[in-house]
Amino acid sequence: MLEVVAPRQRLRTSAISGIFRLAHLSDPHLPLPVPALRHLTLKQVMARASWRRKRGRTHGGRTLELLLGDIRGMQPDHLVVTGDITNLGSKGESLAAIPWLEALGSPDAVSLVPGNHDRLVPAADAGCRDWQRWTTGDDGRAGWPFRRDRGPVALIGLDSAVATPPGMASGRVGERQIDALEVMLSAAGRAGMFRAVLIHHPPILGPGGHRKALTDRAALAACLQRSGAELVLHGHHHAGRLRFLQGPHGVTTVSGVPSASAGAGAREAAGWHLHSIARRPGGWWIATEARRVDHEAGAMRVAGRWEMFLPSAAAGDLAAGAHAAATASAAKAPETPPALPFPAAPGAQPAS
Ligand SMILES: [Fe+2]
Ligand SMILES: [Fe+2]
């Protein structure tokens, strides 16, 4: 059984002052409940050896405890977990993760999507079903894609986790999910919602290369560019990054976070992001704060802040096809589309 590292406490579920505060963490890779070797597949045996050699030494419960305490102190309106909750995707890990998920807050205030480690082998499908309370849409159906409306934000969760051969950590969403996503994005856009897509693998090729990439990222990116979305939240690379896709009315910000449990020996410090979202005339204002664990100080630090204005498709006051770089009014808004290290992490390499 995993240790519950934070007291049970409900997160706030209503925005105040018109600002909706969305917390994002990913890749906690919770400590293994020591699975027996005879119950593991070849890929799980390899992953367990890798975990003992690398993650077991660098990903620590104290780091995660510090980070979760920081999130609770900020009292976000909703918390998103973008996968790799476990390491081997075993049934025992999935069940052991439930108290940890419950400690994050009410399932109404916490949403998750699975990562490749949560579905390391086909049998892990059963494990992900143990987490249905955190993946049930407002229509009462559990699964992916789901849509959960919270305040002004439509959270749309995708499942990119597929079992792959040993040595691979790629993902795939498939045509069915992309078709459903397009319908959801269009409906949420017409309703004037801020659209946040949750996925483990980013829809843009990362420095991890094809071995770790979303195989149908081009189809997903095309869907996002046709339908529009304000924000994509992802994990997988264990690195804080901001990238951008051009949409029909503006940019889609693609934001990745580091692992929530990366210890002092990891290539990029553990961290999480706080996105503050507010409706403004003609669109949305979004400010993001990158918060990182300072292992030497044993405390959290602000590694960077970034904000921009996103024109709204529903606002009707922006010509279709207008270039987002010309409309991003915040002083710190970067041009499209270069990746923005967030924060800069010299020499950092992505992890799966
Ligand atoms: Fe991961
Ligand atoms: Fe991953």
Domain spans in the chain, listed from the N-terminal domain onward: 19-341
What is the rounded CA–CA span in Å between residue 31 and residue 261?
10
Distance 308 CA to ligand 2 centre (A): 28
How confident is the model at residue 126, as a pLDDT? Answer: 64
pLDDT (tens place) for every residue of the chain, 352 residues total = 222 223 233 334 344 458 999 999 999 999 877 667 777 787 777 777 777 777 666 676 689 999 999 999 999 999 999 999 999 888 888 999 999 999 999 999 999 999 999 998 777 666 688 999 999 999 999 889 999 999 999 999 999 999 888 888 999 999 999 999 999 999 999 999 999 999 999 999 887 788 999 999 999 999 999 999 999 999 999 999 889 998 887 889 999 999 999 988 788 999 999 999 999 998 999 999 999 999 999 999 999 998 999 887 654 333 333 333 323 332 233 333 334 444 333 333 334 4
User: What spacing in Å lies between the alpha carbon of 239 and ligand 2's midpoint?
Assistant: 11
Q: 21 CA distance to ligand 1 centroid (A)?
A: 24
Number of alpha carbons in the 13 Å side-chain half-sphere of residue 149: 12
**260 CA → ligand 1 middle, Å:** 10
For residue 184, the CA-to-ligand 1 centroid distance in Å is 27
CATH match of 19-341 with 3.60.21.10: yes
Q: How far apart are CA 302 and CA 74, in angstroms?
A: 13
Distance (Å, rounded) from C-alpha 170 to C-alpha 149?
Answer: 29
In angstroms, rounded to a whole number, what is the distance separating the alpha carbons of residues 134 and 177? Answer: 18
- For residues 338-349, b (16+ Cβ closer than 10 Å) or e, as one string? eebebbebeebe
Counting ligands in written order, the one closest to the CA of 113 is 2
Residue 327 gets the label, from left (phi > 0), alpha (psi -120 to 50) or beta, of alpha
For residue 113, the CA-to-ligand 2 centroid distance in Å is: 11
Determine the 3-state secondary structure of 127 from DSSP. Answer: helix
- Interhelix angle 174-190/217-227, rounded to 10 degrees, is 20
Report how far ligand 1's centroid is from the alpha carbon of 148 (Å): 24
Q: Of the candidates 278, 239, 243, 284, which has an alpha carbon nearest to the alpha carbon of residue 262?
A: 239
The protein residues having their C-beta less than 5 angstroms from ligand 1 (an ion) are 27, 84
**132 touches 138 (CB < 8 A):** no
Q: What is the pLDDT of residue 336?
A: 32
